[in-house]
Amino acid sequence: MKCYIKDYPRPQFVRNEWENLNGEWNFVFDYENEGEKKKYFCSFPNSKKINVPFTYETSLSGICDESVHYVVWYNKKIYISKEKFTDKYSILNFEGSDYTTKVWINGNYVGCNRGGYSRFSFNIQTYIVDGENDITVKVEDSLSKIQPRGKQRYKKESWKCWYVQTTGIWKTVWLEWVSKEHIKSVKNTPKLESGTVKLEINTNLSEYILEEKKYYIEVQISYDGQVLNTVKELLSSDYEIVELPISSNNISNTLKIWSPSNPNLYDITYTLYCDSTILDKVSSYFGIRDISIIRNKIFLNKEELYLKMILDQGYWNESHLTPPNEEALVADIDNIIKYGYNCVRKHQKIEDERFLYWCDVKGLLVWSEMANCYLFNDNSIKCFTDEWIRVVKQNYNHPSIITWVPINESWGVKDVYNDIKQQSFVNSIYYLTKSIDGTGLVITNDGWEHTISDIITIHDYSQDGKTLYYRYKENKEKILNNNVEEFENMRYIFASGYEYKGQPVIISEYGGIAINSNVGWGYGKQVKDKEEFLERFTKLTKTIQNFDYISGYCYTQLTDVMQEINGLMYFDRKYKVEPDIISKINNAIFKNNGEKYV
């Protein structure tokens, strides 16, 4: 897209004046949590060096210490010239820091953020000086089950599918310079039926709007270099809704629809004026697509969508949750597509937004899943809900995201089957998500014990096609009516008091096949070699494809992750099985021929 800048951390809201602060920072462990008392923000102690944004647990950080430390500090000196911030605000952005982050500039306390997965920012204008400036960051983390942590372990040792914790800054830190009167955000909702796009524009004009000035927003839409429409609207408040045709009357209004086979994207720019003076300009893009459910099927742009998904946890051997670089993100997407999948379930992680950009560009559908807590109480409700709202709003504009998955396998709501309070919480998250994004689908508790959900998902790690075939062919009504006691290792599909209402059904986790290894963990008995792997994979996948009432599947998983060794690729991204072999199995769907594979 025209707005694309390599390594720019916020690809859907791009300004030209910015500086990447990744790289070498000073770093210390604060073993006794005495840094604030000792005023590290005024005089940083002798320290290690760390390569931000990689956490101290990783090799790319330069430290590579996997033990648990609850308090860490960062410090960096940067040069800011007066020309940069005259008549502008300097905004310090953190794409992700886990978990409680406090910031000081030149010894002055700026603010605090709680959360590990969403972006946050501070206006540091009143704290900076012309020349050298000192940034100090304190991050407090824990093994608490109350905070959203996803697959980060909550013990001091890893086990099964829980891995080394992520502590501190783990995504890009960067500066940008904006006009004092500027655009804060734009929520865009393209509408396929009307050929329009609805823009909800947020500015910071509330303190200026009553002055004797006129403020305008100009929106320009283009496709493949051709300007299709330009609209300029007078602003009367700091929140305005502008809805405009994607193409003006004198230009062909044939819509370029976004889909995996044709990931068409439109360029869009937002320019803020005061009278005739440009104050702020932001570049972005959008895609037009419609996701819906008709009876028990999913439709994308009015065509039935069969989801061939793969589960991806987004870990790397040398950098854990942080991608080693943008090219690594692109490579994973390319491999997913090569393996014949049309959708990725990004599991228990809010991925770097550059990943979503490349999914938009390359046409890979996304299920966006929140990192879960592991306890249920008033504090966990607040921690989860506050951050989930920020995540959904942050990533709303990406056309690749078709489904939101706030909770997985009753994690953090372990008694949801019969606990009315936990059911109420799960349902509230469903409606809250829908209130922000009325265009997407929501699965509130993926895998089992569903309450309200747009799709009914089932996790089944049976390791032979025969078990799957007879379970789902002969027992559809039993399974969807919660009569599952006779089936080995199967949880209730619905929470008590809830029942099947004709939604699409997807096997959203299966497989997990591990090739024989002296170390590591996978589902079921490990296979001895690639040939045995392919035999089992084929039987499982073809069996699921057999059933007309099942609308798709999600294989576990793309890569090995630490001690979990059930990936299609090793942790270093070398292939266990070549993509073209898996792609042929995924794409040659034979309905009503299940007996062939059992």
> Mind listing the pLDDT tens digit of every residue in the chain (598 residues)?
999 999 999 999 999 999 999 999 999 999 999 999 999 999 999 989 999 999 999 999 999 999 999 999 999 999 999 888 888 999 999 999 999 999 999 999 999 999 999 999 999 999 999 999 999 999 999 999 999 999 999 999 999 999 999 999 999 999 999 999 999 999 999 999 999 999 999 999 987 765 678 999 999 999 999 999 999 999 989 999 999 999 987 666 689 999 999 999 999 999 999 999 999 999 999 999 999 999 999 999 999 999 999 999 999 999 999 999 999 999 999 999 999 999 999 999 999 999 999 999 999 999 999 999 999 999 999 999 999 999 999 999 999 999 999 999 999 999 999 999 999 999 999 999 999 999 999 999 999 999 999 999 999 999 999 999 999 998 999 999 999 999 988 999 999 999 999 999 999 999 999 998 777 888 888 999 999 999 999 999 999 999 999 999 999 999 999 999 999 999 999 999 999 999 999 998 655 555 565 6
Kindly report whether the global pTM for this prediction surpasses the value 0.85: yes
Residues in the chain, overall count: 598
Give the Å distances, CA to CA, from 93 to 21, 117, 171, 283.
10, 13, 10, 18
Going along the chain from its start, the domains and CATH numbers come out as 18-179 (2.60.120.260), 183-286 (2.60.40.10), 313-597 (3.20.20.80)
Q: How, if at all, do strands 297-300 and 343-346 pair?
A: unpaired
Question: 491 with 448: CB under 8 angstroms?
Answer: yes
435: part of which helix (H) or strand (E)? helix 420-436
**Which H or E run includes 169?**
strand 168-169
Say how many C-beta atoms besides its own lie within 10 A of residue 528's C-beta. Answer: 10
- What token pair was written down for 48? 């290690």
Tell me, what DSSP letter sits at residue 524? S
Please check whether residue 275 is in contact with residue 177, taking contact to mean a CB–CB distance below 8 angstroms: no
